[in-house]
């Protein structure tokens, strides 16, 4: 006969089991050995735990093998140790966050240890990891430091959300290699401290990109040595940007800069009015630089070269969208200087669209020399041009609403890699101009996934591998509509919903109310 009494432990319930069918290894060493003694003494209790539940994290872990045990919770004196010296930064970070001692590179084993290690799983996703909670210790391993870092984020969330990391083994990896947040800091100035707070938030959510759109018609927001005359009064110093980049690197986040051209250059052109694009009647075209002039290329190339040193990550955004010359009914008639230059460069059939494509190709050459992978807004690619955009340019697909916008299948069927910036779901536009409304996390969580590139329809699953991921974006068209603190609050749940779908695009196991409750608990 077996009896049981329930005992509270940690965040779960343990069972004290006892009886005459028990395993002697699970009994107190002082238990009576004779039948007479057994009859006259109390049975020895044994802790039996229910099978553990999967960790509750954002994004959710992909796989968890449950086990019986008390799990792990931090205590004073517990250590974080590393098996590989290159994991020192990850070790120090999680030790500080959980109030543990960082023990450095150690081979010995102690109760309560959190061990970080690299494994030799060749061919595995470098962002994958395994986390084992067993015997009062935690081991997090991965093929690269990025995966180990994400394992520490899972552990941090488990502890902050419930106090105890559940017993068992997590195997986890992202579905998409690019998980981004883009900030328009050109139209609205954001402080370095605010951006640093977002970096910490993004890191804990396993994002790996921060896009900074820092040049537009309304402002140029980073200090410049080559062209200080274009910098707005409110801006970030290079030292501040350097600290942001360093913090991002410590969270395995690549900062992706964007100097948009040949449109959206109003702030730079304001200091160089001779480079302003003007139509046949001499009327200035807002934000557009005159790409028929050699000095225009010189200005932009100076900036691209300068900031390549400030942003050492492997990704770069060239912009390329909304060059207003191409919205004219007859661009060649409206801008004769561009038509003349196009014919000189590409023959008698050269067009303004050819010239614009060539401009972007030249800027790509400038950035390519710095070893970057480049992306361009989808409306920076044009149909029926004799000049073709370089094959290595990735498509940042944001809209199907622009005049002549091409469906995403045109890029995918041509073999291009695509990033999802779908303005139907992922655009947080201050002041809600035009037809924009503030996106909700609920709608993203329930209706969007990375294959939903344009409006609400998903492209064929056969293109899934070409869709590298996506970015949630804040655009500051009406900059004073919200304070930066209001922006942080407004994007909180959309950011969480977006990364859930980039980490695992399938139907989430939690309902939206459960997901929001979890987000509240995790902080």
Domain tally, the chain: 2
Could you give the CA distance from residue 205 to residue 193 in angstroms, rounded to a whole number?
19
- Cβ(378)–Cβ(371) under 8 Å? no
- 247 in a structural domain: yes
- 436 in a structural domain: yes
Q: What is the pLDDT of residue 121?
A: 87
- Catalytic status, residue 432: no
CATH code of the domain containing 71? 3.30.379.10
Domain end, chosen from 172, 191, 214, is at 172
Residues 150 and 198 in one domain: no
3-state secondary structure of 469: strand
pTM for the complete prediction?
A: 0.90
Residues 6+ apart with CB under 8 A from 117: 82, 83, 84, 87, 139, 140, 141, 148
| Token pair for 18 | 């006892």
- Which listed residue (90, 158, 167, 322) is catalytic? 322
CATH code of the domain containing 238? 3.20.20.80
CB atoms near residue 20 (< 10 Å): 9
- Cβ(60)–Cβ(46) under 8 Å? no
- 36 in a structural domain: no
Provide the residue count of the chain: 523
Residues 214 and 189 in one domain: yes
Could you give the CA distance from residue 199 to residue 196 in angstroms, rounded to a whole number?
5
Could you give the CA distance from residue 488 to residue 199 in angstroms, rounded to a whole number?
12
Residues 166 and 258 in one domain: no
Residues 206 and 110 in one domain: no
CB atoms near residue 82 (< 10 Å): 24
Q: Where are the alpha helices (DSSP H) in 124-274?
A: 145-162, 192-204, 238-250, 266-270
Q: In 3D, which of 427, 432, 494, 478 has the Cα closest to residue 455? A: 427
Residue 91, domain extent? 63-172
Domain end, chosen from 155, 172, 189, is at 172
- 30 in a structural domain: no
Could you give the CA distance from residue 46 to residue 266 in angstroms, rounded to a whole number?
73
DSSP-assigned letter for residue 407: P
Place of tokens 């008639």: 333
SS (H, E, C) 273-292: HHHEEECCCCCEEEEEECCC
Residues 153 and 268 in one domain: no
Distances (CA, A) of 358 to 97, 165, 388, 402: 50, 55, 8, 21
Could you give the CA distance from residue 420 to residue 399 in angstroms, rounded to a whole number?
10
Place of tokens 């995966």: 147
- Return the beta strands (E) in 36-113 as ranges: 46-48, 63-66, 79-82, 101-105
Q: What is the pLDDT of residue 122?
A: 83
Q: What is the pLDDT of residue 46?
A: 52
- 13 in a structural domain: no
Query: CA-based Rg of the chain, rounded to a whole angstrom?
Result: 28
Phi (first) and psi of residue 220, to 5 degrees: -125, 115
Q: What is the pLDDT of residue 415?
A: 97
pLDDT digit string (tens) for the chain, length 523 residues: 333 333 333 333 333 332 333 333 333 333 333 333 334 444 445 578 999 999 999 999 999 999 999 999 999 999 999 999 999 999 999 999 999 999 999 999 999 999 999 999 888 999 999 999 999 999 999 999 999 999 999 999 999 988 999 999 999 999 999 999 999 999 999 999 999 999 999 999 999 999 999 999 999 999 999 999 999 999 999 999 999 999 999 999 999 999 999 999 999 999 999 999 999 999 999 999 999 999 999 999 999 999 999 999 999 999 999 999 999 999 999 999 999 999 999 999 999 999 999 999 999 999 999 999 999 999 999 988 999 999 999 999 999 877 667 999 999 999 999 999 999 999 999 999 999 999 999 999 999 999 999 999 999 999 999 999 999 999 999 999 999 999 999 999 999 999 999 999 999 999 999 999 999 999 9
- 282 in a structural domain: yes
Distances (CA, A) of 245 to 90, 239, 268, 306, 443: 17, 10, 24, 15, 31
């Amino acid at each position: 006969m077996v009896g049981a009494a329930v005992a509270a432990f940690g965040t779960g319930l343990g069972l004290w089991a006892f009886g005459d069918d028990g395993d002697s290894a699970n009994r107190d060493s002082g238990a009576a050995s004779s039948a007479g003694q057994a009859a006259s003494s109390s049975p020895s209790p044994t802790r039996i735990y229910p099978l553990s539940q999967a960790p509750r994290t954002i994004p959710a872990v992909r796989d968890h093998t449950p086990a019986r045990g008390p799990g792990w919770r931090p205590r004073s004196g517990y250590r974080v140790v590393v098996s590989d010296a290159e994991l020192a930064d990850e070790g120090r970070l999680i030790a500080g966050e959980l109030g543990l001692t960082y023990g450095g590179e150690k081979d010995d084993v102690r109760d309560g240890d959190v061990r970080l290690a690299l494994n030799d799983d060749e061919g595995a996703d470098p962002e994958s990891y395994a986390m084992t909670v067993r015997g009062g210790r935690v081991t997090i391993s991965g093929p690269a430091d990025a995966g180990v870092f994400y394992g520490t984020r899972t552990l941090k969330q488990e502890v902050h959300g419930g106090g105890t990391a559940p017993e068992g083994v997590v195997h986890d990896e992202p579905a998409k290699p690019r998980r981004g947040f883009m900030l328009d800091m050109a139209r609205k100035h954001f402080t370095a401290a605010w951006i640093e707070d977002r970096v910490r938030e993004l890191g804990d959510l396993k994002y790996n990109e921060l896009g900074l759109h820092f040049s537009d018609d309304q402002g140029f927001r980073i200090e410049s040595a080559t062209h200080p005359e274009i910098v707005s009064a409110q801006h970030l110093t290079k030292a501040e940007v350097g600290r942001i980049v360093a913090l991002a690197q410590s969270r395995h986040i690549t900062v992706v800069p964007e100097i948009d051209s040949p449109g959206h250059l109003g702030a730079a052109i304001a200091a160089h009015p001779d480079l302003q694009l003007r139509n046949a009647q001499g009327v200035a075209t807002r934000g557009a630089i005159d790409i028929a002039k050699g000095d225009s290329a010189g200005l932009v190339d100076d900036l691209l070269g300068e900031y390549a040193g400030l942003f050492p990550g492997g990704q770069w955004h060239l912009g390329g969208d909304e060059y207003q010359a191409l919205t004219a009914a007859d661009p060649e008639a409206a801008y004769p200087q561009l038509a003349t230059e196009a014919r000189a460069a590409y023959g008698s059939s050269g067009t303004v669209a050819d010239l614009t494509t060539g401009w972007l190709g030249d800027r790509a050459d400038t950035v390519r020399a710095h070893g970057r992978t480049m992306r361009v807004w989808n409306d920076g690619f044009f149909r029926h041009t004799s000049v073709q955009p370089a094959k290595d340019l990735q498509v940042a697909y944001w809209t199907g609403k622009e005049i002549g916008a091409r469906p995403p299948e045109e890029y995918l069927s041509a073999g291009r890699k695509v990033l999802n910036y779908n303005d139907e779901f992922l655009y947080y536009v201050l002041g809600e101009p035009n037809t924009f409304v503030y996106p909700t996390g609920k709608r993203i969580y329930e209706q969007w996934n990375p294959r939903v590139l344009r409006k609400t329809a998903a492209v064929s699953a056969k293109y899934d591998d070409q869709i590298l991921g996506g970015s949630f974006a804040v655009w500051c068209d009406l900059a004073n509509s919200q304070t930066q603190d209001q922006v942080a609050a407004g994007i909180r749940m959309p950011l969480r919903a977006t990364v859930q779908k980039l980490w695992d695009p399938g139907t989430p196991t939690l309902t939206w109310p459960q997901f929001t409750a979890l987000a509240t608990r995790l902080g």
